[in-house]
Amino acid sequence: MAQRIVFLNGFFIPIQSAKISILDRGFSYGDGLFETMRAYKGKVFRLGWHMDRLFDSLPLIGMDLPVTQREMADIVRETVDRNSWPSAYVRLMVTRGEAPPGLLYDAGLPATVAVLAQPYNPPSPKKYQKGVSVVLVHDGAAPMGNLAHKVKSCNFLPGIIFRTEAKGEGCEEAFLLDRQGRLTEGTTSNIFLVKNGILKTPPLNQYVLAGVTRRAVLGLANQLKIPVREENLSPFDLYTADEAFITNTGVELLSVTRVARKIIADGKPGAMTKLLHKAYLKSVDEETDKC
């Protein structure tokens, strides 16, 4: 078996040789950003959108990288190429770099940049056929001022805890509510509901990340002439929805048919969810065929 190759701070090396300092601020404080991407047919889907989000986020947290946006995209592509997996999960991580302990940091620290790829293991077909269950976490959404919808932060401990608790209850995902009891997002996903032919999703705000798959789905809905509303949604809206689904890079679109033990609508993936997922996969084929 060929060695798994990763990119770390200017070099492509075997993953066994990839090491960072215990003083790295990503390790010490989660002080960094990441992007999760999918490669189809060896090509990263919506790579430009991921690079835009990353490089738009950097100045918001006072961070700079030693490479340009175009060079970073080339590094991601080469990481995928060097590992030769047609279908791959790709993770790009950047941290503020190595520094002595303490919350404050010196400007100009050399950033740590890492890219890894691994074979993509999709959810079981049964999940797409039957849908999945979610739990609600009251007051689980953590605000980040005006940064949340712009910054994909390495600070992920709440999501880890809530997702683990959801799994313990036999659920796929946890939906986080803000202090007003409104739906925000899942631990690793954006939320969509369908009601009376209208596609609804929570608006981007201090709790909701601008997901790349979310953006793609909204664009597809526009192309398909599906009415869309970005509006505040409550648990009642979820319980009474005709359909519900989540989006992220890994699952694409995945139907939600239960909230804990409560069944949504008829308990089956809905027609609009299937239509949008089909359109999404078509857009993947069209983009990768052009590369």
pLDDT digits (tens, 9 = 90+) for 205-252: 989 999 999 999 999 999 999 999 999 999 999 999 999 999 999 999
> 139 and 99: one domain?
no
Domain of residue 221, CATH code: 3.20.10.10
Domain range for 206 is 125-286
pLDDT of residue 149: 63
pLDDT of residue 118: 95
Task: Kindly state the DSSP code that residue 119 receives in the 8-state scheme.
Answer: E
Q: Catalytic pick from 127, 152, 225, 274?
A: 152
Domain of residue 93, CATH code: 3.30.470.10
CB within 8 Å of 70: residues ≥ 6 apart: none
Whether 103 contacts 162, CB under 8 Å: no
- Is the pLDDT confidence value at 290 over 90? no
> 145 and 104: one domain?
no
Q: pTM of this prediction?
A: 0.94
- Is the pLDDT confidence value at 1 over 70? no
57, part of any domain: yes
> 87 and 158: one domain?
no
- Is the pLDDT confidence value at 143 over 80? no
> 87 and 201: one domain?
no
- Is the pLDDT confidence value at 116 over 90? yes
Q: Which long-range contacts (CB under 8 A, 24 or more apart) does 268-273 make?
A: 268/130, 268/131, 269/128, 269/129, 269/130, 269/131, 269/243, 269/245, 270/194, 270/242, 270/243, 270/245, 271/243, 272/194, 272/197, 272/199, 272/226, 272/243, 273/194, 273/243, 273/245
Of 62 and 145, more confident: 62
96, part of any domain: yes
291, part of any domain: no
251, part of any domain: yes
Of 147 and 108, more confident: 108
> 84 and 150: one domain?
no
Per-residue pLDDT tens for 49-87?
A: 999 999 999 999 999 999 999 999 999 999 999 998 989
Mean pLDDT computed over every residue of the chain: 94
> 65 and 14: one domain?
yes
Amino acid at 280: Y
Per-residue pLDDT tens for 4-30?
A: 999 999 999 999 999 999 999 999 999
- Is the pLDDT confidence value at 145 over 80? no
- 152 catalytic? Reply is yes
Confidence of residue 2 (pLDDT cuts 50, 70, 90): confident
Per-residue pLDDT tens for 260-271?
A: 989 999 999 999
Per-residue pLDDT tens for 176-205?
A: 999 999 999 999 999 999 999 999 999 999
Confidence of residue 280 (pLDDT cuts 50, 70, 90): very high
Cα separation, 116 vs 89, whole angstroms: 8
Best CA proximity match to 111, nearest among 182, 31, 41, 46: 31
pLDDT of residue 107: 85
- Is the pLDDT confidence value at 108 over 80? yes
Residue that is last in its domain, among 82, 98, 119: 119
Count of the separate structural domains present in the chain: 2
Amino acid at 56: D
> 166 and 101: one domain?
no
**Strand 173-177 relative to strand 183-186: parallel, antiparallel, unpaired?**
antiparallel
> 274 and 209: one domain?
yes
